[in-house]
Structure 1
Amino acid sequence: MTDLTIIICTHNRSELLVSAIESINAAERPISCNLKILVIANACTDNTVKKLKDYQYHHHNTNTVPLLFEEELRPGKSYALNHAIRCVKTGFLCFMDDDQRIDKNYLISIIETIAEFPQTTMLCGPLYPDWQGNEPAWVHENGKYRIYPLPVPEFNLGINLIQVTKENQTPPGGQIIIRKDVFDRVGYFSEDLGPKGHNLVGGEDTDFFLRAINLGEQFLYAPTIIQYHFVDPNRFKLSYLLHTSYQRNRSLTSITRQSNRIPFYLYAKLTNYLLSAIFSLSYKKIRFYLIRTACILGQIAGHLQTPR
C-alpha cells in the first residue's frame, strides 16, 4: 500500500483552492493507495481557513478525500513547502499549486509508475494550460515574434518516459512527486528563494531539482501524470508579462550563474532589444522586444544578486 499526500500551499486564493480540491475528488482513485490532502495556508487573510474547516466538517458525510490543513504564518512559499514536508512522515508527497487541477487519471498514473519503476524517487509529468478558448490569439502564435515563455505555465517533455537531467527543462514545483526520504538526502527548499504572496519571484523549485539531480536521485518524467494550469486573463497584460519575465530570469540566473561578473553579451543584447523596441512600428514587435529586454535585465540582476 502506497501513501500519497497531495500538498497544496495556498495564499489568499480560496476559490482557486476549492477548484483544485474538487479536481482531486473527481479523479479516479487507485485501490492500493492511502490518499490524503494536506493544505498549508500561508499567511492567509481571506476565507481560506473557513473553507477548509467547512470541508473537514462535511467530509465524513461525503465520499471525499480526507483533508488536513496547517497554517504557516510566515509569508513565503518555501516556508509553506517546508512546513508541509515536516508534517508528512512517509510515502510520496505530490505537490500541486492552488491554481492547477489534476487529470482524472493522475492518481492512478502515479501509482502505476511507482510500481513499474520502484527505484524512482522523484516523478513529474506534463503541465498544460487549461485553455477555455477566450485567450488572445497571440498566445498561440509560433512566428518570429511569439511570446516565450508563455504567461501561463506549461511543461512538456514529450510522449515517452525519460529521465530528467540537467540537460532537460526542469518542471514547475507544482507538478512534482517526491518520496519523503529524498529530503533527508537533498535537504529542504531554500527559504531564501521562492515567491512571497504573489510577487512572481521563483527559483526554489529549480534550486531543489538541481541539487537532487547532482546527488543522483532517480528523477522520472511520465507523460500520463498530467495537470492543468488555470488561465488567468490578467497574465496577458503587458505589465504582467514584463514583470514575470524579469523575475523568472533573475531567479534562474542567480541559481545557475558561474560568477557574479556580468557577461558582455548581455549588454549587447540589451542595447539591441531596446533599440528594436523603440524603432519598431507594430505593437507585436514592440511587445516582443520589451519582453526580451525585461528578460535580459532579469539576467543582469541575477548576476548582481548577493550569493546565498
Structure 2
Amino acid sequence: AAPGAARPRSQADGARTRDDTTVVIATRARPARLAECLDSIAAGTILPGRVAVVDNARPDDQTEKLIRGYRIEGSVVEYVREDRPGLAHAHNAALRCVVTDLVAFTDDDVWVHERWLENITGAFDADPETVCATGMIAPRELDTVAQQWVEAQGVYSKGLRRLVFDNAEHRADNPMYPYAAGAFGSGANMAFRTDQLRAIGGFDGALGTGTVTRGGDDLAVFYDVIRHGGRLTYAPSAIVLHPHHRDYAALRRQVYGYGAGLGAHLMRCVLDEPRAAVTMVRHHRAAAARLATILNPPPARGLPAYPRDLSRAQRSGLATGPARYLISRYRTRGDVRERIAT
C-alpha cells in the first residue's frame, strides 16, 4: 500500500489497542518519512489509542493533508500545529492535548519495530515506580563510513541489558550522575507517565532541535525525572531504527549540535541546581576522561580512525552550549513549561 494509506487492523491481525497510550511524533516538512514512521506504528503488535502528529513551524500544508487523510483502525490520529520552532515546543504542544495515562515519543524519520510499543509500555506494567522508559535506537543501515562512525561513537547505543536509574538504590556508578544524562537514552525513543511528565513541567522550551541550543531537550527531561525522585528504565527490547547521516558534512553538523545540546543541558543543570557546579568541579577529571572517550571513540575493526575534525566540531559545539542556553532561555522566559504544569 502507498505511504499514508489507511492501515486497517483487526483482531485477526493479532494486534490490540492500548487505549491508555498516546504516541507523539514531531515533524517538519518530511511527509514521506513521516508516512513510513506511521506505517511502522500501524504494523505493531500493540496499537496506541491515539497518535498525535505535531507539525512544527510548517513551511506548507503537506503534513496536514497527510494526517487529515491517514487512518489506523483502532487508533485516533490527530493533527497538532505548533508554529514556534523547536522540538521541545512541539512535544509540549502535544502534551497539552494528551488524555491518556502514558505518552510515548518518537521521531518522524525512524521505523519502529513491531513490538516497540508493546515493550516500551511494558516497562510501566512491570514496574509501577517507573516514570520514564527509554529503548534501543539501532541503525536502519550502515552503508557509509559516516554512518559507521556514528555507531562506533555510541551516540545512540545504550547496550543490550535492561537498566534502571533513580536517586536511591539504582544510582549509576558515575561521579557525574545524574547530570551525565546521555546514559539514560535518547529522545527518539522515550515514554512517560503523562501526569508525572506534566508535574515536572514537560520539556524545556529553551532546548531542542530547531532552537539556538541545537538539542539537549531529551537530556534535560531525563535529568528532571531523576532529580524529582522518579525512576527511569532503559528497555533494550523496545527498538526503533534510525537513519544515521550518510554523508560527512551532515554528520559534522550533527556532532556539533550534539556538543551544543550537551553544553546547554549542563548549563541548565547549574542554573537550576547550583550544587551541580560543585559536583562538576570536584569530579572534573572523571568528566574529562568520559568526554575524551565520547570525542575520540576507540577505533572499530575495519573502520578508519574517527576523524579529529569531528572531535573538534563536537568540542566546539560543547563550548558554545552554555551561552546558547542563556540566549535561548532569555528568549523563552515565561514560556510553555510554566503552563504545562498548571
Same structural fold, with TM-score higher than 0.5 when normalized by the shorter chain? yes
Q: Deviations over 1:129-169 (max 9, x none)?
A: 111x5333x6447xxxx98636xx62323223433662661
Alignment of 1:222 with 2:235, yes or no, is: yes
Contact 2:133-2:232 within 8 A present in 1 as well? yes
Offset of 1:296 from its aligned partner?
Answer: 1.9
TM-score of the superposed pair, with normalisation by structure 1: 0.77
What corresponds to 2:157 in structure 1? Answer: 155
Distance 1:222 1:18, change over 3 A: same
Aligned mate of 1:203, from 216, 219, 228: 216
Which secondary structure state, in structure 2, belongs to the residue aligned with residue 173 of structure 1?
A: coil
Identical pairs, percent: 24
Contact 1:195-1:201 within 8 A present in 2 as well? yes
- Which runs of 5 or more residues in structure 2 are unaligned? 1-17, 172-177, 271-276, 286-303, 330-342
Contact 1:127-1:229 within 8 A present in 2 as well? yes
What corresponds to 2:65 in structure 1? Answer: 50
What corresponds to 2:207 in structure 1? Answer: 193
Alignment of 1:297 with 2:297, yes or no, is: no
Paired AA for residue 156 in structure 2: E
Paired AA for residue 81 in structure 1: H
Aligned counterparts of 1:126 and 1:294: Cα–Cα separation in 2: 26
Task: Map residues 107-118 of structure 1 onto 2, 5 A cutoff.
Answer: 107-118=117-128
Aligned counterparts of 1:246 and 1:200: Cα–Cα separation in 2: 11
Aligned counterparts of 1:304 and 1:45: Cα–Cα separation in 2: 29
Distance 1:54 1:159, change over 3 A: same
Aligned counterparts of 1:80 and 1:300: Cα–Cα separation in 2: 26
RMSD: 3.3
Aligned counterparts of 2:151 and 2:77: Cα–Cα separation in 1: 39
Q: Deviations over 1:177-224 (max 9, x none)?
A: 011111332112111111118x89101111111121111111111121
Segment drifting more, 70-79 vs 295-304: 295-304
Aligned mate of 2:143, from 134, 142, 151: 134
TM-score of the superposed pair, with normalisation by structure 2: 0.70
Which secondary structure state, in structure 1, belongs to the residue aligned with residue 21 of structure 2?
A: strand
Offset of 1:170 from its aligned partner?
Answer: 2.7
Which secondary structure state, in structure 2, belongs to the residue aligned with residue 4 of structure 1?
A: strand
Alignment of 1:25 with 2:26, yes or no, is: no
Aligned counterparts of 1:48 and 1:304: Cα–Cα separation in 2: 34
Offset of 1:230 from its aligned partner?
Answer: 2.4
Aligned counterparts of 1:306 and 1:183: Cα–Cα separation in 2: 22
Contact 1:200-1:248 within 8 A present in 2 as well? no
Which structure is larger by alpha-carbon Rg, 1 or 2? 1
Alignment of 1:171 with 2:188, yes or no, is: no
Contact 2:29-2:58 within 8 A present in 1 as well? yes
Q: Deviations over 1:74-105 (max 9, x none)?
A: 22222111100000123111101001121111
- Give structure 1 regions of 4+ aligned residues with deviation exceeding 6 angstroms: none
Aligned counterparts of 2:88 and 2:126: Cα–Cα separation in 1: 31
Offset of 1:305 from its aligned partner?
Answer: 4.1
Offset of 1:174 from its aligned partner?
Answer: 1.8
Distance 1:74 1:38, change over 3 A: same
Paired AA for residue 264 in structure 2: S
Q: Deviations over 1:105-142 (max 9, x none)?
A: 112223433222122121111110111x5333x6447x
